[in-house]
Chains A and B, each alone.
Chain A
Amino acid sequence: MSALFTGWTGALALSTVVIGVAMTFVAYMTWLERKVAARMQNRIGPYEVGFPHGWLQPLADVLKLLVKEDITPRAADPLLYNLGPLLVVVPALVGFAFLPLGKGLAIVDHPYSFLFFTALASLTLLGIFAAGWASNNKYALLSALRMVAMAASYEVPMILALLIPALLAGSFQLTAVVEAQRGLWFIGYPLVGQLAFGIFLLCALAEGNKSPLDILDAESELVAAYNVEYSGIKFALFYAGEYAHTLALCGLAATVFFGGYLGPAFLPGFVWLTGKCVVLFVLILWIRWSLMRMRIDQAIRINWMFLLPASLANLLIAASWVVRD
């Protein structure tokens, strides 16, 4: 098995598997979201396409978007305009390669994989800005400017919150972080773990454009925000990128706070990881479909007045704990 997954052919095979599995996963998470949202709203959700419960709906959605006309506005900057969707979707998908599926079973098991993951997650925002700027549309531009303000704010507490598991594990390697949780998951560390996870969850809502912090995606104000000029497969890429990004963040949270692949041995590790990831995703959906959207000044005030001091204090407590041990 190891011979199969070495060298360039191995890398190609692995990345094909990762992209295929991740994209299918993402597509079915849209189905899950529609079902969860429908149940919350006294509806049934997708039902007609595929028996039972419209399980072929994601496929139908992708097919529909594939055959739609692909438009590039005359006044848009074609290079950035076409690069935008790729910049959103690729980093989000690469993120999946770092998540350890079992002991020593990460596709990329780099000593600094944790840092690399967070750096990649931030790259997504570059694609959003490129799209908003290059569309030559005022709504898209406003959305891109909002994105800069939000990213500059929410990246900071997110990284600080993610430093806590790294600090507790004493490593930036995701597999090592998971192994360090064999005794107790990091979410179980009193105060430090829960606070860090709470801050991370709020930041993940902001990064993944989920209500109440979907400031840059505010379609009731900015119509469709940064992707207002996009159609067809490029729009689908934005959509997939947004979900992949959210799911990758859920996977990261499952890995660094909830013990990743750890779990009773009757199921393989990747099942545990996927299960935890889906549970976290449903938690995000629950928040998303219950709350109204904040205004941008309120969202940024909460960040600088509460999230940042709290995450700094949390880091201090965790550091003193680690040093004392």
Chain B
Amino acid sequence: MSGGPIEVVEREFGELALNMGPQHPSTHGVLRLILHLSGETVIKAVPVIGYLHRGVEKLSEHLTYDQLAPVYERDDYLAPTANSNAYVLAVERLGAIAVPRRAQWLRAFVSEWQRVSSHLVWLGTLGLDLGGALGGGTTLYMYCFREREKILDFLEELTGTRFHTNFNLIGGARYDLDAAMADKSNALAASVEAALPELWSMSGGNPIFSERTRSVGTISKDLAMGVGVTGPTLRASGIAYDVRKAAPYDAYAELPFDVISRTAGDAEARFQVRMDEIRVSLKLVRSIVDGLPAGPIFARKPLKNPKATKIPSGEVYAAVESPRGELGFHIVSDGSAKPLRLKINAPSFKNLQVVTHILPGGLVADVVATLGSLDPVLGDVDR
């Protein structure tokens, strides 16, 4: 027996303190929860985070603005482009750098495809949480990943990378969409849309799934506002807030789309919001392909020496709607080529705070259902 000091969890008589994670199949990576149980009922849940802390915000102070965009793609690793999109928006706003219209549309295009792929991962892992690795959950998981694989193949063809596409540059986009790829995008959207009823029949269309998610992990409107949850989790609690509508960026001001919301606030409502968002995103990529304006995708001349890019001193905040909610970058610049201070406003972090309020009263089985429906990405929580 060696190692660090033994941790003592304060608990009442008769309570069982169950340490769930950081190594656990359904904590979505390395989240750790200390559950205080009475029988199977949760009395208190204490999340412990930081197991995936990589010091990205501190690292930002040591790299130049041009070097940084790919770094943030590793934060929320299920929707990499959303991170770099928020970052380049902030830098462009601070430096008053113009972005060509075509690049703005292309950014939205890749973001929406990654939203679909991220929501497919979420649905598959929710299936694993509810159905287990040795049951129907795996089947749903495999079906979701089959669809997601098509999207990743498409992105690979478009950008050369399956996942961390490195698509956004300060002042534009790195890759263009030609006519052949536009056709492929439309065909892909049709094929993913055709698979959605099947996915729904294995999840929302199944009475056991509905029973497991209904009235589980309910977040009331007040609690959602008080804790500051965001994204689909917030919209499932009856507040139709979407950064794409509230503070349009990229091409979203010109694109028609609906903001999906539900009022129930439980895991089932969050499931329905995300399922509908997949449809909305598929519609969006179609209309982007149809209305894509002509023109260059990069305003500046390619720089020989990226260290030359200096950003005027000042302070800026820019946010995008990532698949998990409002993802913002707060940058303070002192006029040099490196940020003086950079802070990421991470949606998963805000959404995860709500677990101390909604887990007590539920059963152990509800803990995994609730966590799965919140869709936290630990890379985004810990950064």
A contact set with B: CB distance below 8 Å: 37, 40-43, 138-139, 142, 145-146, 210-212, 214, 217-223, 288-298
Contact = CB atoms under 8 A, between A and B. Distances in A.
Nearest to A210: B135
Interface of B: 16, 18-19, 24-26, 39-40, 127-139, 142-143, 146, 202, 206, 208-209, 211-212, 363-368
A294 B363 CA distance: 12
Contact of A288 (B16, B135, B209): B135
6 contacts: A211-B134, A214-B134, A219-B132, A223-B24, A289-B138, A298-B211
Contacts of A37: 138-139
Given A142-B40, A212-B208, A219 B202 contact: no
Given A220-B25, A292-B209, A293-B136, 10 more contacts: A138-B18, A288-B136, A292-B135, A292-B137, A292-B212, A293-B130, A293-B365, A294-B212, A295-B211, A295-B212
**Secondary structure dominating the interface of B:** helix
Contact of A291 (B131, B363, B366): B131
B136 to A, nearest CB: 4
Given A220-B129, A220-B368, A211 B135 contact: yes
A40 B140 CA distance: 10
A220 B128 CA distance: 7
Given A42-B146, A218-B132, A220-B133, A292 B25 contact: no
B366 A295 contact: yes
Given A219-B25, A219-B132, A292-B130, A142 B138 contact: no
A116 B135 CA distance: 31
Contact of B211 (A42, A210, A294): A294
A298 B40 CA distance: 13
User: Which of A146, A220, A293 lies at the interface centre, i.e. has the most chain B CB atoms within 10 A of its CB?
Assistant: A220
A219 B363 contact: no
A147 B127 CA distance: 23
A293 B127 CA distance: 10
A151 B227 CA distance: 42
A158 B366 CA distance: 28
A7 B142 CA distance: 54
A220 B202 contact: no
Contact of B365 (A210, A212, A289, A295): A295
A40 B143 CA distance: 10
B111 to A, nearest CB: 28
Given A42-B146, A291-B206, A292-B209, A218 B365 contact: yes
A211 B131 contact: yes
Nearest to B142: A41
A296 B362 CA distance: 12
Contact of B363 (A41, A214, A297): A297
B9 to A, nearest CB: 12
User: Which of B26, B135, B139, B146 lies at the interface centre, i.e. has the most chain A CB atoms within 10 A of its CB?
Assistant: B135
A211 B208 CA distance: 11
A295 to B, nearest CB: 4
A291 B208 contact: yes
A142 B132 contact: no
Contact of B142 (A42, A139, A218): A42
A319 to B, nearest CB: 32
B365 A296 contact: yes
Contacts of B127: 292
Contacts of A289: 135-136, 138-139
Contacts of A297: 363
B364 A142 contact: yes
A217 B136 CA distance: 14
A40 B131 CA distance: 15
A138 B364 CA distance: 12
A221 B364 CA distance: 7
B134 A219 contact: yes
Given A291-B206, A292-B137, A296-B365, A214 B132 contact: yes
User: Which of A42, A291, A298 lies at the interface centre, i.e. has the most chain B CB atoms within 10 A of its CB?
Assistant: A291
A293 B135 contact: yes
Nearest to A43: B142
Contacts of B206: 291-292
A232 B279 CA distance: 47
User: Which of B132, B211, B366 lies at the interface centre, i.e. has the most chain A CB atoms within 10 A of its CB?
Assistant: B132
The 5 closest A-B pairs by CB, nearest first: A211-B135, A41-B142, A292-B131, A291-B136, A295-B365
B37 to A, nearest CB: 8
Contacts of B364: 142, 221-222
Given A138-B18, A221-B365, A296-B40, A211 B132 contact: yes
Contacts of B143: 41-42
A35 B25 CA distance: 24
A220 B138 contact: no
Contact of B208 (A218, A221, A292, A296): A292
Contacts of A222: 364
A145 to B, nearest CB: 8
Given A219-B133, A219-B134, A290 B202 contact: yes
